[in-house]
Each structure stands twice: as structure tokens, then as C-alpha cells.
Chain A
Amino acid sequence: MSDVDQAATSSAPVAPGAPLTGVRAPGAAPVGGAPLGRKAYSGGRRWEFLYFAVRNKKLVLGLGVEIIFVLAAIIGPYFAPYPPKQFVAPAFLHPSAKHLFGTSYFGQDVFSLLLYSLRNSYLVGFLGAAFAGVIGLGIGFIAGWRGGWLDEILQTFTYIVVMIPSLVLLIVIGAYLKSHSAFFEGVFIGVTTWPWVARAVRAQTFTLRQRDFVDLARLSGKRGPAIVLKDIAPNMASYILLAFILLFGSSMLIAVNYDFLGLGPTSGISLGDMLNLAELWSGLQLHLWWWFIPPGAAMTIMVAALLVANVGLDEVFNPKLRET
């Protein structure tokens, strides 16, 4: 390329159509940061990554807030002042020292409810992201690597999945399927949100497979799957991580939608369930704001922290985005 310092490789555009639409994730262009064609993360780069990671305020802030919430989800139930579903106090109590977020229509302690709800929300978010990630990567790799008619079929399939609004589908399914688990919800979210990952991964695999180092791998007799996993995937590592974070956030948000409509797991509670109950039992009309404001605010902070961490991570991976 040019003279002096081209360390800053091309930064890349967004992933259009990601559920969190505008969020920046390196898309069609070669993944930023790691120079393509070399092993993406040699030792030196890893240290460099850490060096910039701990110095990136957005990453540290976002990750820090997220860790606090994750910890609250894991150990919160052991420290919750009251059992979550039992009626421990008179109803409609305003927030006070005794009941941090007041009590619900039924006399449940809202703060304890919140602590217990975090787990399910994270669990579903993680499951959704994991399934969407695996399906999206799988289909993207296969379509991008094989090309031809298989690519056509997979693209058509992706297109059809995009065309069917997942919430509507779940409402129809939910009308028949009376009970289901958090696992079902996570899988359903995963099965309906993978298309944008598949599209981006396909486009990148397509570009990468024309590179010299892939030709080299092919000449050395490596088989397709081995090349995809050992040569192509590492070059997308930063992208995959960023995409997973976005999927995680969007899955949690989608789960709130589902739970709010009463389509969530039939056992256990989540942040969306809290909103659902508050809505069903006239929390709005009774001005029980402490019942429905905290769960939504918690979810907003959880997702916003992920987005902020994502932006920070992106800056770490793409030198061009760092402030000079």
C-alpha cells in the first residue's frame, strides 16, 4: 500500500439490519485491525490488544457496569431481602428503606423480584445469542465458502426467515403451545435472529477466500472445513466477538417483548414478566411506578452497557476509530 504506516487498515461499515440496527459492527469489508493474511492474533498483537483494551474508557465502563449486573444476577438471589414470589408485605408500599423499590399489587418486594429476574433475562439473552451465533456463523461460512447453488439456497432461506416477523410467529405458536421453558425461548430467539450474522459472515468469507493465504492453505492440501475454521475464522475473530455482544443485547430485548406479552417461560420470572404483571394488574392506573420502572431501567442499563462496551471494543480492534 502506501508509504509510512498503514497500520490503520480500512475501518468497516455497519451490519445493516442488525436487531440493534445502527450499532456499528464491522461488516462487509475485511475485518479491521488485524492485517489479513497473517495469523490474526500472534502474541504481540494480543498484548497490544490488552494494552488498548484497559485504556479504552468506553470498554472499561461498559464492561464494568455489565459485570456488576451479571454478579447481581448470579449472587443477588442469595442476598435478596425477601423471597421473590411470596406476599411479604402490604401491597402498594412506596419505596422505603425496608422495601427499596416498594411493593407490588400483591405485596411482593419489588427489589427482590428484580434480583431474581436478572438471571432469567441473562440466561435467555445468552442462549439466544449462542444459537443465533452458531447458526449464523454456520450458514454464513457454508454459503460464503461453497458459493454456487448451495449459496443460492441458503440465501433464499435466509431471506424467507427475514420476511417472517418472529414475534408474530411466536404469538401464533404460543397460542397453541401452552407451556415452555427459558430454553425454548432462547432457542426460538436464536432461530429467528441469525440472518444478519449469516449475511455479514457470508460476505466476509467470500472476500477472505480469495486471499493468497487461503490459496496457500488450499494448495497445502487442507480440507475446506479446516481452512474455514483455522484460516478464515481467526481473521474474523474480532467481528465474531462484536456480533455476539450485539446478539446478546438484542436477545435480551426481544425476550422482554415476548415476556411482556406473556409468551415467556412459564416458570420463573424475568424482567419482562415484571412489566407484564404490572401492566395486567393496572400498575399504570394505580401509579405503581416503582413496579414497572425498575425492571425496564435495569434492562436499558444492561443493554446500553453492552452497546457501550461494543463501541469501545470496536475502537480497540480498529485503530482508525481510536481518537488520535
Chain B
Amino acid sequence: MTRYFARKIGLYILAFWAGVTIDWAIPRLMPGNPIEAYLARFSLNSQGSWTALYKLFSKAFGYNLPLWDQYWHYWDNLFHGNLGISIYAFPEKVTTMVAQAAPYTLALLVPAIVLSYVLGNRIGAIAARRKILDNTVLPLGYLFQAMPYAWLALAAAFYLAQLERWFPVQGGSAVGIASGFTWAYIWGLVSHWFLPFLTVFLVSFGGWSIGMRNLVIYELETDYARYLRALGARSRLVRRYAYRNAVLPQLSGLALALGTVIGGNIVTEVVFQYPGLGHLIYIAATDQDYSLLQGIFIFIIAGVLVANFLIDIVYIVIDPRTRLSMQGAVA
């Protein structure tokens, strides 16, 4: 469409380029040589075989080429959907591994983000006008916000899984049940999903509800709300307007908060050993599986950008100001 969209898409492309470049540059900028680090895993005895292998791997990973060529190859591979081969799960392709892990992460993140956002907004808006709710939701919201993800996850795993045994402690699906479209298998998925979901949900929920409460209180003090009250508008109408306007900054906040939630999600997956991307990137890091690491990094950045794109679209739909500025109609 017009300028607004062109600008946004330009920003996405720029951000993606920056992400990929950083991803490419890190191994080359860091002290030490990734190939040396890699060869250290093989406990080689003779100097000769070390040199031979070094040459081999340098060539295989393209480290012997000039930097520009390496950079070019990197992009070329990327566009062909080739993120390299995992060392940790040799000879699995990185893309395959990412594709296997991604659904788990999405199943955690998407409902956790959407539900915490929607419910947090609702509850926060109600808390803005109900003293009782305000006095309970607010302190709870602050408490959840102040909790480290890792600790909330550990505490939940300990109490609800270890002690009460309501949920399995770790993993993504029930052990010993064949995957397939069976109730047992699906139940296994759901029961393993619940606690990590709850952790991510609760921390975010606290933030959204507090944010919404404060925004609605602020909106109820604005001139347009005063005018409506002075002219005898029903309080429901005033609240509806206030809520709708308060959602806008919350939505841009959602775009900004994505990185934090993703970080929390990684930690949570590690605690529950949930087989998503967070757990995978953790394993990749501890096993020094560089291609896998870089592949996941690119995938996550792409995911953040897609999420931002979706948020932008929602924003355009609910805020007439951006919609009109897109048509260049603003006075």
C-alpha cells in the first residue's frame, strides 16, 4: 500500500539483515577459532591429522574463503533454505531440527502471549474500577512480575509435579506412548504443555493487567472522558472508550515485550526440558553446535519479525490514526 507499510516493511528487512549479519559475524569476531574449538572435541593425538582435519573443516565450513565470499555464501545458503548440518545430531539438517522443535515453542508462546494479553487487559480494566479487585489483582500482578521465570518454573515443577504429581515434571510428551492421533498421546502432550505454559502466562499476565489498569485510570482522567461524563454518558460507554484507547499503547508494548517473553520462554523450556526451540538452542550452546545455534537464531528473529508484522496489522485495524496516515489523509 502506501508509505506507512513501505516504511514498516523496510524496517523489517533492515532488522532481518542486521540479525543475519550479526549471526554471521559473531563466530568470526569472537576470540578463538570455531574450527579449533570444534576439533578440540575429537581429542586428536597427532599433529598431522589435526592439520589435515583443520583444512578439511575449514573448507567444509567455508572459513578458508575471503570474508566477502563467506558472507555471500551465507546469504545464498539462507535463501536456499540451507542452514547447515547439526553437529550434535549429525547428520541431521538444522532446518529439520528447527522444524521439529518449532511447533512445541509456538504451542507454548502463542497461547501464553495471546491469553495473558487478552485476559490481562480485561482484568486490568476491571481492576481500574473495582476497589476489591484492585486490591487483589494489583499486588499479585506485581508479585508475578517480580518473579524470575526460572524460579517460578522450578517452584511450579516442584510443587505441582514433584509433590502433588498433577503434571509430569519434564519432557514434551508421554514416554512410551506411540505418537499419533490417540487420546493417550494428546493427553500426554497437553499435560506436559501445561506447566511451562502456566509459567510464561503468569509472568506476562501480571505485567499486562497492571499496565492496563494504569492506562485505563489515565484514560478515565482525560478530557474526552470528562466531557462524556459531563454530558451524562453512561459509565459503560465511558469505560468502553477508555478501554479501547488504552489498548493502543498496550499493543505497541506487546511488540516491545516480545524479546523478553521469548527469553523467559527459553528459560522455562530448559527447566521443563520441553523439546522446543529454547531447549534446543540451550543444547546447541552447551554442545557447541554452531550451525544449529546460528540456524535457531535466524529462525527466532524471523519469528519476531512475523509477530511484529501481525501486531502492526492489528494496530492499523484498531487505530484510525495510522490507518488514515497510510492513505495520506491526515490534515
Direct contact of A and B (CB under 8 A): yes
Task: Give chain A's interface residues, CB within 8 Å of chain B.
Answer: 10-14, 16-24, 27, 156, 159-160, 162-169, 171-178, 195-196, 249, 253-254, 256-257, 260-262, 271-272, 275, 278-279, 284-285, 287, 289, 292-293, 295-297, 299-304, 306-308, 311, 320
Task: List 29 A-B pairs, Cβ < 8 Å.
Answer: A10-B221, A12-B218, A16-B252, A16-B256, A18-B253, A18-B256, A21-B210, A21-B260, A22-B141, A22-B208, A22-B212, A22-B213, A23-B211, A162-B255, A163-B15, A168-B263, A171-B266, A195-B256, A254-B263, A256-B149, A256-B150, A257-B267, A261-B267, A284-B158, A284-B162, A285-B162, A285-B169, A287-B163, A306-B146
A160-B18, A177-B30 given as contacts; is B218 within 8 A of A11 (CB)? yes
User: Bound state CA distance, A12 and B158, in angstroms?
Assistant: 41
* B157 contacts A by Cβ under 8 Å: yes
User: Bound state CA distance, A23 and B213, in angstroms?
Assistant: 10
A164 touches B22 (CB 8 A): yes
CB < 8 Å: which of A12, A165, A261 contacts B300? A165
A168 touches B249 (CB 8 A): no
Within 8 A of A (CB), among B239-283: 249-250, 252-260, 262-264, 266-267, 270-271, 281-282
A168-B281, A253-B148 given as contacts; is B214 within 8 A of A14 (CB)? yes
B11 touches A172 (CB 8 A): no
| Tally of contact residues, B, Cβ under 8 A | 81
What are the nearest 5 A-B pairs in CB distance?
Answer: A17-B256, A296-B151, A16-B253, A22-B211, A21-B207
Main secondary structure of the interface of A (DSSP, over half): helix
Task: Give chain B's interface residues, CB within 8 Å of chain A.
Answer: 11, 14-15, 18-19, 22-23, 26-27, 30-32, 34, 37, 120, 124, 141-143, 145-152, 154-155, 157-158, 162-163, 169, 204, 206-215, 218, 221, 249-250, 252-260, 262-264, 266-267, 270-271, 281-282, 284-286, 288, 290, 293-294, 296-297, 300-301, 304-305, 308
B255 touches A17 (CB 8 A): yes
A168-B300, A171-B282, A172-B297 given as contacts; is B150 within 8 A of A272 (CB)? yes
Specify the chain B residue showing the minimal Cβ separation from A155: B11
Q: Which residues of A contact B14 (CB under 8 A)?
A: 156, 160
A11 touches B23 (CB 8 A): no
A168-B300, A174-B285, A296-B147 given as contacts; is B263 within 8 A of A257 (CB)? yes
A159-B11, A300-B146 given as contacts; is B293 within 8 A of A175 (CB)? yes
Q: Which residues of A contact B157 (CB under 8 A)?
A: 284
A24-B210, A163-B15, A296-B150 given as contacts; is B262 within 8 A of A168 (CB)? yes
Q: Which residues of B contact A13 (CB under 8 A)?
A: 214-215, 218, 249
User: Bound state CA distance, A115 and B175, in angstroms?
Assistant: 40
B257 touches A165 (CB 8 A): no
